[in-house]
Amino acid sequence: MRDSRHDILFDPVPIGPVTAPNRFYQVPHCTGMGWRRPRSLAAMRGIKAEGGWGVVSTEYCSIHPTSDNDAHAYCALWDADDIRAHRLTTDAVHEHGALAAVELWAGGGMVVNLGTRLPPLGLRSLPQTDTGEVHPGQARAIDLSDIADLRRWHRDAALRAVEAGFDIVYVYATHGYLLSQFLDPANDRADAYGGRLENRVRIVRELLEDTRAAVAGRAAVACRFSVGLEDAETYDAFGLLADLPDLWDLTVPDYDLEMGNSRFVKENALSPSIARATAMTERPVVAVGRFTSPDTMAQVIRSGAQDLIGAARPSIADPFLPAKIREGRSEDIRECIGCNICYAHDSAGVPIRCTQNPTMGEEWRQGWHPERVAPASAPQRVLVVGSGPAGLEAARVLGEQGHDVLLAEAKRSPGGRVSAESALPGLSEWARVRDWRLSQIDRLANVQIFPESRIIAADIPALGVAHVLVATGSHWAGDGIGRHSAQGFTTDGSLHVTRVGTVLDGGSPGADHVLIYDDDHHYMGPVLALAMRRSGHAVTLVTPAGRACQWGSYTSEQFASNTALVSAGVTVLTNRVLHRIADGAAHLACLYGGEAIRLRCDAVLPVTRRIPDRALFDALAKTDHGLRSLTLIGDAEAPGLIAAAVYSGHRAARGLETLTDPYTPHARREHPV
């Protein structure tokens, strides 16, 4: 039975001429699918509608070829082909009684139109400003004729949106794109669109009025806009527009707060800024906050801070979050961990994926549903060795298929690398990967977990299993071999070399000044540096990259990570390779041929590569134990992201009866409509 405190989340909400069936609103978020993969996009959005999201939105949707971000698969509404492609999504969303929303987008100086090769139209002639990627291009300064064209393009796109079946049409005025460039105090245009605030707001007002006239009551008009307590003028601008749209989709000017990695930003971080604006309008307000707790959601609504619960990442981690709350199954919510792996892969120009939800992006490609797996045609007895992220996910899915599953774990507690990493600074939410899977397994009588059970090849015949999945993980090497060195570093033994595993197991490098050599470039090096500082060590982080946490530019944590290192007193040396330990010092070569550095320290902690732990698999592969299949999964196959390990376990479990060759094409390739 549903908790009565959550009833408020299921109230219908009028939005102009349409009504959202509940308060769960999947705000616009990118997917890496866009116009290139319309079937994948429609299947993914349709799953969310099936899962109970009352409104399901597109990602940013280009109104015209002058807004092209072709390195990424965005949506577009340029012509009749786009209308037909979007119909796949709106039909899939409407099938489950949800509203479909489209975020119309004009890129401005943020993009360089790599695909169309047209000059981008920006507020001024300035270099391209997309913080994720820098290109040697500049925008053409928009003139009054261009503004007239912009209004016409936006109006025409709104008409196409209605024809495509959308119920809510956005005017998108934030995130650094063209409309927010007009709103910026730096807009010193001498015409009616610059200078004083009323002029800078003018283009947003006109587009809201144009869009309302175009959709003519057939759809609601929404506006995505930023307000922030640290910027009083944002509320002045908001006040000039407060009752123009049918719905406000509000966020804050700081994207690192809005899209913050959970290392630095926790649930409901935007609420104070949003609440002030909500009090200024009669229109309903939706806002995000990486909401995962139904108690927090209900409290935010009851407080009047906002009217609908916006979500992007939580809707990716669990498309059925609303349905689970509605059915009184809040404990089954697959909570977002805020790792931003979804965002990272869209930023890389490929379909999003999720650490918690391995079916994300695979709804059409592989036909995977996040809540259902087909029962096994002939249930088997299966052994899964290792209860890290891959092993837990494999055991869970195999159990739901009806197999008799034995899950053997060499240590006392399950979780593998997830348990170890979640104990590090800022990574506590990583534990949700382990805890959710254990909670689901606990309900399956056909899955048994055996802790402190180290399996060797000779044990297999007595277990009577037909299939073995080996998820024995990996360990961090201590030799310095990695991306920038095929030989690693040499050492005369004058410095202690501490392995990452020692620290993850709670050990200490036993030294005062620790040099962390980070050739991994994600979170591990910086997080270990912060952990060492908390333990009282002096820390120098050395990396061959141009910045610490280089890959963190994709996960929106690079800036915050470097800020945290500086604040903690960690010395960071970039563009340096550790090639030798001698005479009690680390010898660091410059990547570009500059002068070498001799740095005295007490211990070296290499964060470079991981070695797969595949001894059991190799032993089993050499001898016929009468197994129907033997599969290596997760980090034991190829060390990578936790998301990759979870996906590996999920795929192996789904394909237990059919996937005999792991390299055989296993999914449909999509071609644009």
Query: In degrees, to the nearest 5, what angle opens at C-alpha 296 toward C-alphas 291 and 297?
Result: 65
Three-state DSSP at 171 gives strand
Is 532 within 8 Å of 546 (Cβ atoms)? no
The sheet carrying 381-385 orders its strands as 447-450, 404-408, 381-385, 467-470, 629-632
Q: How many helices (H) and strands (E) does the chain have?
A: 21, 29
Rounded to a whole number of angstroms, the CA Rg of the chain reads 26
- Dist. CA 482–CA 488, nearest whole Å: 7
Q: Rounded to the nearest 10 degrees, how much is the dihedral formed by the CA atoms of 420, 425, 429, 435?
A: 30
Question: Token pair for residue 55?
Answer: 């409104």
- Dist. CA 233–CA 145, nearest whole Å: 28
Listed in order, strand segments (DSSP E) in 391-460 are 404-408, 447-450
Is 465 within 8 Å of 382 (Cβ atoms)? yes
- Dist. CA 50–CA 233, nearest whole Å: 40
Quick one: which H or E segment has residue 604? strand 603-607
Query: In degrees, to the nearest 5, what angle opens at C-alpha 344 toward C-alphas 48 and 43?
Result: 25
Three-state DSSP at 506 gives coil
Question: Token pair for residue 437?
Answer: 């899977």
Identify the DSSP state of 668: P
As annotated, the active-site residues are 177
Quick one: which H or E segment has residue 612? strand 610-612
- Dist. CA 266–CA 230, nearest whole Å: 19
- Dist. CA 638–CA 622, nearest whole Å: 20
- Dist. CA 511–CA 537, nearest whole Å: 7
Half-sphere exposure for 2 (CA within 13 Å, toward CB): 16
Each as own residue / partner, the long-range contacts of residues 79-82 (CB below 8 Å, 24 or more positions apart, any chain) are 79/160, 81/673, 82/35, 82/160, 82/164
Each as own residue / partner, the long-range contacts of residues 186-194 (CB below 8 Å, 24 or more positions apart, any chain) are 187/123, 189/123, 191/144, 193/147
**625-643 as b/e, with b when 16 or more CB fall inside 10 Å?**
bebebebbbbbbbebebbb
| CA 494, chain centre distance (Å) | 43
